[in-house]
Amino acid sequence: MRSLFALVILPMLCLLPGAATALTLVTAEEAALPTPKPVPLLPPTIMPRGITRGPEIDVESPRNQGKPVHSPFPLRIGFIAHGGAHINPASVKVIYLRQGNIDLTGRL
């Protein structure tokens, strides 16, 4: 896991403007948008074959253990691939789920 973080996430973090600079990902107007109603998941009609499990997201920081997190805070995540799969960092998208979802990928 640590090597994945060093190879994938750390180079991405180096592209951010300064380590001490706070970055606003969601504006107050965007945060005030209504949350969409959850869509119930339908059971698959055909059982998938092979490796179908997506990567896990490992939150390195903040490790809040159930406590609230207040902005700004350092965010560090890593991905854990399964079954010999590889993670393509260019394919990662970050979306804030609101009514009219907000793509945050370009803000990171």
pLDDT for 10 equals 47
CA pair distance 39, 13, nearest whole angstrom: 33
pLDDT for 50 equals 57
DSSP per-residue letters across the chain:
-HHHIIIIIHHHHHTSS-TT-----S-HHHHTSPPPPPPPPPPPSS---S--PPPEEEEEE---TT----SS---EEEEE--TT----GGG---EE-SSS-EE-GGG-
pLDDT in tens, 14-41: 444 455 567 788 888 888 888 877 777 7
pLDDT for 6 equals 43
pLDDT for 59 equals 86
CA pair distance 87, 17, nearest whole angstrom: 24
pLDDT for 7 equals 45
pLDDT below 70 — which residues of the chain? 1-21, 43-52
Prediction pTM value: 0.53
- Bridge partners of 57? 79
CA 76 to chain centre: 9
